[in-house]
Every structure is written in structure tokens, then in C-alpha cells.
Chain A
Amino acid sequence: MNKIWLIIQREFLTRVQKKSFLITTILVPLIFPAIIGVLVYIMKKEAEAAKADTVQVVDESGKFIFENGRQFTFVPLSMSLEQAKKTYNETKDFALLYIPPFDMNKPEGMVMYTKENPSLQKVGNLESILQDRIRDLKLEEYKIDKETLKGLKVDVNLKQINLSETGEEKSSNSGILYGLGFGLGILIYMFVLVYGIQIMQGVIDEKTSKIVEIIVSSVKPFQLMLGKIVGIASVGLLQFTIWIILITVLSTGALSYFGLKMPQKQAMEEMTKSMGNEEMKQAMNQQDSKINELLGNVGQLPLGKIAFVFVFYFLGGYLLYGALFAAVGSAVESMQESQQFQFPITLPLLIGYFGLFMFILRDPHGPVSFWLSVIPFTSPVAMVGRIAFDVPTWELALSMVLLIGGFLFTTWIAGRIYRVGILMTGTKVSWKVLAKWFLMKS
């Protein structure tokens, strides 16, 4: 036991003392905000720099009145299309729009001439301007005025409330649950893969540097394997904890810098100020209450439980796959050689990952979701993705017990392969060889 502790210490310290650990631990929490920041900055710059595109219009139908908008400036021409094409070619304008006389029920024959291929978005915007105009014309034809139409439109927002077994009411929001399930599931998937590969790399290093024979003359191979797995797990937990702290501190800092205001709300406030409109104020209050509701929903989520489940499945999934990675590492002599085994052992994890998108987030309580979140090989990703949707306690308990059983099982198998594999060099390894090692008596 004392020796396992020594091994854990070494595995932990050598990794934590590396520069690369320090760099990734500090940089990763900065990367996402940084990328978002840069994108927002670029978009803002672009929006400022964007000038309305000039569109020349030859309207032979005489039905259109164009208003200049933010995107397009319209220049009506009173000449034939042939002439217009010529003059258009001499200008640098964005497009030449040709509208022939048309049937209101079957508007056809409109053409947009451009010099370069326009973006789909711009074409779509132009199309919708035309459509709006035709719709207005039709409304006039049917003698419906715009105000009546506006009155017809209502906004319905379903408030979701979960009625629990005890009759307690909890309002929920599928959007938040979806996001949470999605984020946590992917996080587990990445963690298990990244740290699993670290285990494998460590085992391969020990084997190729030949130190392993010296170590196993002092400790049992199983102790060495376990020490390595646990040591790397502690590195993962430490890194994760630092990330959580950094992200919390950074986001709190950022929020207080922006004065706790959502950009949307800021824009609204400005509008209200300039217009002083009663209607606007009302809209704003509505918006406010929506945000409050959202925050309330987040607050109502059992965050403590989710955090506990996350850490449990992180460790469980990591231990389950970590042992398999260790076994593969012991059998091969290089990372390249490990490829042939890496994919098959991570396949169930991948299935859990795809199951997350295809089943769990769409139908969190369906049969496929149930099985994915109970079977130990897929449950780390699946259950964590599902947990926000309120999983029945017995399902959670079953899944946890199976996961514990699962990693004890894989550790046992891996240990048997590992003890033989680490001392074997120059063997061409296949699944058959692994099976033989597994069955070999010690």
C-alpha cells in the first residue's frame, strides 16, 4: 500500500511539475473566452465597416416602392434592361435587379445580375424584401390592413414545470438542460480520452525505457498499474478544479466589468431612453422577467447533485477506460502500434458520445437513453448528459453500481494483460496474443 502511494506521488508530481501542465492549465480557460472575444470584436468591426450595397432597379411592373435600408440602397432606373445592363457594367454597384411585369399569384421572371457571386444571405435578404412587398400588395387586394394582421399574431411561451413524485413543483427549461447535458457529456468524453491516452503513453514510456523490469522487481505489476492510473487521475482532478476556479473568477470578473448587463438589455435601455415609449418599457420589463426566470431555473437545478454525479462518472469512466488504456500500453512498443487497439476500446465511449446527441438530449427518458446510461461502458457520457433531466433515483443507483463493477472488471482484465505485456518485447501483438496473456497463469 505504501508503495502504491509512492508510485501515485511520482506519477502526480512529475506531471504537475511539467511546464506543459502549467501552460495548459492556465491557457485552456482563457482560450474560449478569447476566441469568443475575438469573434465578437471582428463582427463588430465588420458591422461598422459595412456600407449598404447599391442595387440598381429596372422595375417594369411599376408595383415596387423600395425603401433604402441598412443593407441595400436602391437606385430606380427608367430605361430598358439592355441599356441598364450596359450602364450597370460601368458602375461598381452590387447588383442590377430586373422586375418584369408579373402575375401577383405567380411572381416569376425576376432576375438579379451581379458581377461576382453574391452570398446566399444577401440573395435571401433581397428575396424577402421582394416577398414582403408582394405580400403587402396582396393584403391590400384582400382589403386587410397591416394593423389587423399584427393583431392576429400572438406570442406564446410555454412555462415548463416538473411535477415531482412528492408533488413539488419545479419550473424547468429544456434549453438549459440541453446545454448542460451537452456540455457535461462532452467534457467527460474528452477527459476520459485525454487522460486515458496519458496513461497509455506513461506505460509505453516505462516499457521502452526498460525501467519497468526494475520497478516490477520492487512492486507487483498490478500495484504499478494502479498507482499510475490513480496518479494521473489526481492530475486530472487538480487540473479540472483549477479550471473551474479560473473560469468562475474570470467570468465573474468579466461580468462585473460589463456592469452585469446583457448586451441586449443595454440596447433596449438606450432605445427606451431615446424614445420614451411606454410600449418599449413594457417590453423591457417582460424581457427582464424572462431573464429572471432563466436565472431562477438555473438556480432550481440540483447543482450540487449534478456536480457530484459529474465527478463520480468522471472518475468511474476514467478508471474503467484507464485500465484498458494501460493494458494496451503494456502490450505495444510505440504509440503508432497502439492505434489498432485504441479505436476498438474507445468505440463504446464513442457510442455513448453519439447516443448523447441522437437519443439522450432528444428523449432523455426513452429506452435507448436508459440503456446507454446504465451500461458501464457508455454510462459515463450518457448519464452525465442525462442527469440534468432528473433521472429516477433507482436508475442512477443502478448505473453507479454497474459502473463500479465495470471498472473493477476492466481493471482485473487489464491487470492480467499488463503483468505479462510489460515484460514482453519484440512480440507481434494481436487480440489473440492479448487473450493468451490474459489466460496465462502467473
Chain B
Amino acid sequence: MDALIVKDVNKVYSTHKALDNVSITIPEKTIFGLLGPNGAGKTTLIRIINQIINADSGEILIFGEKLRPNHIEIIGYLPEERGLYKKMKVGDQLLYLAQLKGLSRHDALARIKVWLEKFEIKDWWHKKVEDLSKGMAQKVQFISTVLHEPKLIILDEPFSGFDPVNAQLITEKILELKENGSTIIFSTHRMETVEALCDHIALINKSKKILEGPKKQIKDGYRSNTFLVEHRGNHLILAPEKYEVKGQVKIEDDLYSTTIKAADGIKGNQVIRDLIDITELHSFQEKVPSMADIFISLVKGEGDEALKKHLQEV
């Protein structure tokens, strides 16, 4: 079953169109990357899913059901612009937010204890939020997002404000949540996060969805049979009907890195076979476009051909 289906959603603000016929399908138990530049419409879409605002038209299905007010209890939302009541104690705050999500006081108390232990911050219960550092407050914020064990978790730039150690900690927790059956939507600009965590992605640009699918499939779609070879000697004499040398960089003394584009139908193994005969091979890898590359060229509005060309050159 799909966790979320967004069908032809439109939203117009008085001055501009925030979402233009956007349809997205988010499979269950995946980490879904919702990508796009600032102002593309991601936050609007997320707010519509959270029922903070309503779409002008379109339909949203959550686990097969039409979105209703009581669905907020199965959604956990961490907005990009986040905050807590500064004067409230950590424990009281978590209790309040969990109860607002429909948890009973008793259940909330038990789960808060578990989570505070998980993050090893049990003694923070009576601390006021204003006395916490930014990173500490972010941990509390994260706990408040997942305390009611939501089936759908929406995280908007979840790593901003975290140092690498805590970012790692949060990453582990996110993977743990996925293992336990939650579906996670990531809205982010950080391509390394997408690269490392996301199974599926969708790219929104200028209010329109321009790309969607499993990450691997998308990346494969942008493969261009280009290889990066490290070898000795600056001369590579290759059959011109099979290979085209796209560029060469000297690494040290006699060691060079050369980009080779192979003709269609020539697989990696064949390339290695051909190379071994003519040079001392140090490393060999296929150049697969990174998510960052794909993101940038799509957002820049380059056509598919231009994109492929760009991807070969980087």
C-alpha cells in the first residue's frame, strides 16, 4: 500500500501559484526525499498534508483513506522553522505536545521516559527550554515529532542545527523508525543526505513536479556509459570508433585520471579488458551522476540532452 498519494493538487496564493497540478506517490516504509529549491512549493505541500492549510483542488489519500482531521494523529511533523515554548520545562512540553496529538497522559509519560533514555537526556525533564543549547533543543524537538509513533513522519531539513555527532544519532533513529514500519518524508537541500538515506525522491521546481521515482532508477536513467580511469602514462591509445576521451587530469608524477566515454553497447568489463592491454590500470569506476548533479541541472532548466552532456563533464 502507498503511504501517501497526492493527486492533482493545486494551491494558489493571491500573488502566485504555489502548487501546479502536483501528483506524488509515496510508497509505504520508504524514506522519501522531497527535493526542490527554496520557494518551489515544498512547504506548501507539506502544510497541506498536515492540514494546516487546504488545497484549492486535488485529492490526498493517506494509507488509502481520504485525508481527515483525525489523521493528524498518525502524522509526525518537524517543520523547518521550529521552536518550543521557551519558558516551559522539557518534560511538560513533551507531555503537552504528545497530548495534543491525541496521546493519553499515561501513555505519553511512559513514552517520554523511553525516548529521553534513548537520547541519554533523562535529567533534562525539569530543564527549561531557554536553558538548552540549540542542538539540545533540536533533540527535544525531534522527540516531540515521533513521540506518538506516527506512521508518516515529515521532516523538513531535520539536520539543520545539529553537529555531526548528533546528526549521526538522528540518522540512526530515523533508520530505526523506518525499520519499525514508519514512512518518512524528507524535505531537504542536502544532497548527501538524499544520497545516503532516500529510497525514493520527487523534485519540485517552480510549483511543478518535474521528477519522481526510485532513486536508483533515476540515477540509472542518467547514466551515460562514461568511466573514470586512473592509470600510468599520459597516453591512452584507444580505438576511436569505440571510445572518446573526454578529459585528462594529472594526479601525480606519472599518474593520470582520464574520463572515457564508451560507445553504446560496450559494458564496463569490456572497457577494463581493453584498457589492461594498453596501460597500467590503478582504478576504474563508472561515472554515475550524483543527486546533486541531477538536481542542479534540472533546476537550472536544462533539457535532457544538455543535462546528459553536463553530467558527462562534471
Contact = CB atoms under 8 A, between A and B. Distances in A.
Contacts of A218: 72, 97, 100-101
B100 A215 contact: yes
A14 B81 contact: no
A3 B100 contact: yes
A217 B46 CA distance: 10
B9 to A, nearest CB: 15
A441 B100 CA distance: 25
Contact of B52 (A14, A216, A425): A216
A425 B80 CA distance: 13
A267 interface: no
A342 B84 CA distance: 27
A217 B75 CA distance: 9
Given A423-B52, A440-B14, A442-B54, A213 B99 contact: no
Contact of A6 (B14, B47, B96): B96
Interface string A201-216: 0000110011101111
A378 B14 CA distance: 36
B83 A211 contact: yes
B86 interface: yes
Interface string B74-106: 010101011111111000000011011100000
Given A217-B72, A217-B77, A436-B14, A209 B100 contact: no
Interface in B181-201: none
A211 B85 contact: yes
A213 B77 CA distance: 9
A14 B86 contact: no
Interface residues of A, number: 24
B312 interface: no
Contacts of B306: none
B282 to A, nearest CB: 51
A10 interface: yes
A220 B50 CA distance: 11
A436 B77 CA distance: 28
A205 B83 CA distance: 11
Contacts of A441: 54, 56
Contacts of A6: 96, 99-100
B79 A213 contact: yes
B53 interface: yes
Contacts of B100: 3, 6-7, 215, 218-219
B167 to A, nearest CB: 20
Contacts of B226: none
A218 B98 CA distance: 9
Nearest to A220: B69
B192 to A, nearest CB: 26
Contacts of A7: 100
A199 to B, nearest CB: 16
B158 to A, nearest CB: 14
Nearest to B69: A220
Interface in B36-85: 47, 50-54, 56, 69, 72, 75, 77, 79, 81-85
Contacts of A215: 97, 100
A260 to B, nearest CB: 47
A153 B56 CA distance: 85
Contacts of A14: 85, 87-88
B79 A214 contact: yes
Contact of B144 (A206, A214, A442): A214
A217 B53 CA distance: 10
Nearest to B77: A217
Nearest to A215: B100
A425 B88 CA distance: 23
B50 A217 contact: yes
B53 A214 contact: no
Which of B14, B75, B83, B144 has the most chain A CB within a 10 Å cutoff? Answer: B83
A133 to B, nearest CB: 71
Nearest to B88: A14
B30 to A, nearest CB: 22
Nearest to B86: A209
26 contacts: A6-B96, A6-B100, A14-B87, A205-B85, A205-B86, A206-B85, A209-B83, A209-B84, A210-B81, A210-B83, A211-B82, A211-B84, A214-B82, A214-B144, A215-B97, A217-B51, A217-B52, A218-B100, A218-B101, A219-B100, A220-B69, A423-B47, A423-B53, A425-B81, A441-B54, A442-B53
Interface of A: 3, 6-7, 10, 14, 205-206, 209-211, 213-220, 423, 425, 436, 440-442
The 10 closest A-B pairs by CB, nearest first: A210-B83, A218-B100, A209-B83, A213-B79, A217-B50, A217-B77, A211-B83, A210-B81, A216-B52, A442-B54
